[in-house]
């Protein structure tokens, strides 16, 4: 697990940028405090094509796999963030079938060796999470890629000087004109999407000109050309009737077990996050089969109805493992938020970021790697809202003319009257009514909040291309597909990566495995969401009978709930007012509108906590990255263990 920063010069003078790159690299120190590598790559005729800068968190092959990593007598240079879980098998295949030579025992060299022999097809062979960059010195060609589901991040920026790539956007800000343009450099379309979705959807960012390579995509560039981004992977759901459900359940369980086993490959201590739900509990239950002494970590509060600690402790006792709890309060939250937002790069208004920050901090005191349960809901049908197409079937299955009449009736029903929402949603095509798990501000509300509201920017800009790829699927599976490309990679995986890396902790996600997806992709709707039940992830729950404690098998999902509703009306009220006042965001947002929401919430007239939180997180972001009126308090430690000067025509 690491932080990478690479620059490819359009003019053959990359060496002139070395010191600036080395300086920018230090803002990624948290991603890899163990080693630093900075190399300038020159050509035989004296030009310098590239600078590779790398921060390493040593997990596999600690002694040898230093980066940037050369291959094929220096033809290729690799910098890599992530883990390849089948690297041992791939290494054996490359050596046996192609005579590949290796000078390390790690997974990074397997990537670059595979690229040498298989080209871009190496991506289809990798089982893991990754973002990497390769420079081919012979072809003068840059190649960067990201894993199937977008677990690891990769940002890019193209300027007149050349192309920059980095694990986190903050490392690119010194080179981006938009970062020095104040509010004029803020991407207002991305801001509008954020206010709807509570995250900035890929490939955009809030800084103009800086983009992200999407999940399952790769990038190529040669001097004198524009960046080209292509897709190498698309998840394909193929639900089909199942004649023998028990065989399916057995396959799910064994595939998960094998995935957990492979995700535990490491030369450092591995632990697990543990909440009250089935996803993390299943990971712990399977992991302890391979390490009975595995440590687990959980988090909670002294607020009734919000803490998962007691349930997690019961599960840990049942499984015979140790769990280490952490409790947080409103003061902890207020003090941590500037650091959290700085680590995020772009705002994500998910309150679960805060408990995740503290549980990751605690885990990092004991282990270097943790396993977590992200991805189970999207793969196996775990969100309650996925039941909506089933409940609306009586309406949206009616002829178009009848639906049109019912739609007119719904408009005549006063707000708040039972049945109005049911008719509205039942007569609205799924492509217009579903855009992911989070729904913050409506278009009407954004007209009041945004200073420069643009009606042409709609959430369908994000979802329409995804729906266009899923026309053959049923509505439930369409919702899963939408979430794979929106909610999962925009919220869930951003917070998992950035918040764990804030503490130099690697989070691995065994559910988000290509073999697990292959099993989940074929589950029919009736085995994900039984029609005469309120169960979700039914097939997965059946598969885990006897693996997880009985009390957890059918427990509803909580997912590190956070008492922001309570605290914003009490202990955090004055803090929220202060953040609004120092944010400097008044030219983009009507903060008096946000203040009215806060006052109504404090008086108990309405629960505006999620909307207030969405604005607050943006205001913290704006105060840090644009107005610079808030110091996040990040200690920028430096290391220079492997810093190198210009590398000549033959690397090492």
pLDDT digit string (tens) for 216-239?
A: 999 999 998 999 999 999 999 999
For 134, list phi and psi in degrees, rounded to 5.
Answer: -125, 135
- Is 2 a residue of the active site? yes
Nearest in space to 637 (alpha carbons), one of 31, 132, 8: 31
Please state the separation of Cα 353 from the chain's center in Å. Answer: 12
DSSP conformation class of 213: P
User: Which residues lie below 8 Å from residue 303, measured CB to CB, with a gap of 6+?
Assistant: 563, 566
Exposed / middle / buried, residue 463 (Cβ in 10 Å: 0-12, 13-18, 19+): buried
Give CA separation, 177 vs 173, 561, 623, in Å. 8, 39, 18
Measured CA to CA, the distance from residue 54 to residue 165 in angstroms comes to: 11
pLDDT at 636 over 70: no
Query: Is the preceding peptide bond at 441 cis, omega within 30 degrees of 0?
Result: no
Q: What residues contact residue 531 under an 8 Å CB cut-off, 6+ apart?
A: 390
> Is 90 within 8 Å of 110 (Cβ atoms)?
yes
Q: Does 546 score more than 90 pLDDT?
A: yes
**Most confident region among 137-151, 396-410, 412-426 by mean pLDDT:** 137-151
- Alpha helices, DSSP H only, in 159-308? 188-197, 245-263, 278-290
Q: Could you give the 3-state DSSP secondary structure of residue 35? A: strand
Judge whether 440 and 579 are in contact, CB under 8 Å.
no
Q: How much is the average pLDDT of 413-438? A: 82
Mean pLDDT value across residues 33-44: 89
Longest CA–CA span in the chain (Å) reads: 77
Number of helices (H) and strands (E), helices first, in the chain?
A: 28, 18
- pLDDT above 70: residue 652: no
How much is the pLDDT for 649? 37
CA–CA dist 363, 66 (Å, integer): 25
Token reading at 271: 């632990």
Decide: pTM greater than 0.85.
Answer: yes
Q: How sure is the predictor about 61, in pLDDT bands with cuts at 50, 70 and 90? A: low
**DSSP 8-state code for residue 41:** E
- Give me 61's structure tokens: 């092959």
| Phi, psi of 611, rounded to the nearest 5 degrees | -65, -45
**Tokens at residue 402, please?**
């009848």
Coil, helix or strand at residue 215: coil
Residue 558: pLDDT band with limits 50, 70, 90: low
How would you classify the pairing of strands 210-212 and 162-166? unpaired
Structure tokens at 458: 């709609």
Does the pLDDT value for residue 448 go beyond 90?
A: yes
Q: Nearest-5° angle of CA 227, CA 232, CA 233? A: 140
pLDDT above 70: percentage of residues in the chain: 96
Q: How many CB atoms lie within 10 A of CB 603?
A: 9
Q: Which domains does the chain have, with CATH numbers?
A: 2-233 (3.60.20.10), 245-382+484-553 (3.40.50.620), 386-440+459-475 (no CATH), 564-625 (no CATH)
Q: Mean pLDDT across the stretch 204-210?
A: 98
Helix axes 475-485, 460-468, angle to 10 degrees: 120
Q: What is the residue-averaged pLDDT of the chain? A: 92
Q: Which residue among 2, 27, 272, 619 is the active-site one?
A: 2
Task: Give the bridge partners for 211, in sequence order.
Answer: 156
Round to whole Å and give the CA distance between 239 and 243.
Answer: 13
Element holding 42 (H helix, E strand): strand 35-42
pLDDT of residue 344: 97
- pLDDT value for 60: 66
């Amino acid at each position: 697990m690491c932080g990478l920063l690479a620059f490819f010069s359009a003019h053959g003078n990359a060496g002139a940028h070395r010191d600036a790159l080395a300086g920018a690299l230090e803002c990624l120190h948290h991603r890899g405090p163990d080693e630093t590598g900075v190399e300038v790559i020159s050509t035989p005729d004296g030009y310098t094509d590239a600078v590779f800068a790398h921060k390493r968190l040593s997990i596999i092959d600690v002694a040898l796999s230093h980066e940037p990593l050369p291959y094929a007598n220096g033809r290729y240079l690799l910098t890599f963030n992530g883990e390849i879980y089948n690297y041992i098998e791939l290494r054996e295949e490359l050596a046996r079938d192609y005579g590949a030579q290796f000078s390390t025992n790690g997974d990074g060299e397997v990537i670059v060796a595979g690229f040498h022999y298989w080209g871009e097809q190496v991506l289809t062979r990798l089982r893991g999470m990754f973002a990497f960059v390769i420079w081919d010195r012979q072809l003068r060609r840059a190649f960067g890629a990201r894993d199937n589901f977008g677990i690891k991040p990769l940002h890019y920026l193209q300027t007149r000087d050349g192309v920059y790539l980095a694990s986190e956007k903050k490392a690119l800000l010194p080179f981006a004109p938009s970062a020095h343009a104040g509010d004029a450099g803020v991407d207002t379309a991305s801001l509008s999407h954020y206010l709807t979705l509570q995250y900035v959807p890929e490939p955009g960012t809030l800084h103009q000109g800086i983009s992200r390579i999407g999940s399952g995509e790769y990038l190529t560039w040669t001097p004198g050309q524009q960046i080209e981004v292509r897709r190498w992977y698309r998840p394909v759901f193929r639900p089909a009737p199942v004649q023998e459900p028990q065989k399916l359940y057995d396959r799910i369980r064994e595939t998960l077990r094998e995935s957990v086993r492979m995700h535990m490959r490491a030369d450092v201590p591995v632990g697990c996050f543990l909440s009250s739900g089935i996803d993390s509990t299943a990971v712990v239950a399977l992991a302890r089969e391979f390490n009975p002494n595995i440590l687990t970590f959980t988090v909670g509060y002294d607020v009734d109805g919000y803490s998962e600690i007691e349930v997690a402790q019961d599960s840990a006792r049942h499984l015979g493992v140790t769990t280490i709890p952490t409790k947080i309060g409103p003061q902890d939250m207020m003090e941590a938020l500037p650091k959290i937002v700085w680590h995020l790069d772009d705002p994500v208004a998910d309150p679960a970021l805060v408990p995740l920050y503290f549980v990751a901090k605690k885990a990092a005191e004991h282990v270097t790697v943790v396993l977590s349960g992200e991805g189970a809901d999207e793969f196996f049908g775990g969100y309650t809202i996925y039941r909506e197409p089933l409940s609306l079937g009586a309406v949206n299955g009616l002829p178009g003319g009848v639906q049109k009449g019912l739609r007119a009736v719904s408009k005549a029903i006063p707000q708040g009257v039972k049945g109005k929402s049911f008719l509205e949603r039942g007569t609205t095509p799924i492509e217009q009514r579903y855009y992911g798990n989070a729904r913050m501000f409506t278009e009407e509300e954004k007209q009041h909040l945004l200073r420069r509201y643009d009606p042409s920017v709609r959430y369908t800009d994000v979802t329409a291309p995804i729906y266009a790829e899923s026309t053959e699927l049923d509505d439930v599976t369409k919702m899963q597909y939408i979430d794979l490309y929106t909610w999962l990679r925009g919220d869930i995986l951003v917070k998992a990566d950035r918040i764990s890396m804030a503490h130099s902790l690697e989070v691995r996600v065994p559910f988000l495995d290509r073999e697990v997806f292959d099993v989940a992709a074929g589950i029919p709707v009736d085995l994900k969401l039984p029609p005469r039940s309120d169960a979700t992830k039914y097939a997965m729950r059946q598969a885990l009978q006897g693996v997880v404690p009985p009390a957890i098998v059918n427990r509803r999902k909580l997912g590190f709930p956070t008492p922001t509703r309570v605290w914003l009306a009490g202990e955090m009220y004055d803090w929220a007012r202060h953040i609004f006042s120092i944010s400097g965001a008044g030219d983009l947002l009507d903060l008096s509108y946000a203040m009215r929401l806060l006052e109504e919430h404090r008086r108990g007239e309405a629960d505006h906590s999620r909307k207030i939180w969405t604005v607050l997180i943006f205001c913290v972001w704006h105060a840090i990255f644009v107005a610079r009126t808030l110091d996040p308090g990040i200690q920028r430690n430096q290391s220079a263990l492997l810093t190198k000067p210009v590398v000549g025509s033959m690397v090492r």
